[in-house]
Amino acid sequence: MAQFLFRSDWTLAARGNALVKLHKFQCYFGRSKWLVGVASIRLSSSQAGHDYLDNRG
């Protein structure tokens, strides 16, 4: 019985560890996606500003 409990605890710990790793990966991936989004928005807005100035002049 003790061995069975230990085994189930080990699988729970392994599963929890995998979840933590997945969460960290998702956080990192989400942050990098957010940074890429911000950078592309800045690029597109600055490009739009240049286009506006070029068209005016």
Spell out the per-residue pLDDT of the chain, length 57, in tens.
455 555 677 787 888 888 888 888 888 788 888 888 888 888 777 766 666 566 665
Report if residue 5 sits inside a domain.
no
User: What's the confidence (pLDDT) of residue 54?
Assistant: 66
In a domain, 1, yes or no: no
CA dihedral angle for residue 10, residue 14, residue 20, residue 23, rounded to 10 degrees? -140
Q: What is the pLDDT of residue 45?
A: 74
In a domain, 4, yes or no: no
Model pTM score: 0.39
| Conformational region of residue 9, where left means phi above 0, alpha means psi within -120 to 50, and beta covers everything else | alpha
Give pLDDT, residue 15: 85
Domain assignment present for 43 = yes
Separation in Å, CA 54 to CA 24, 42, 43, 57: 45, 18, 16, 5
Domain enclosing residue 25, as ranges: 11-54
Positive or negative: CA dihedral 6, 12, 15, 21:
negative
pLDDT of residue 9: 75
Domain count, the chain: 1
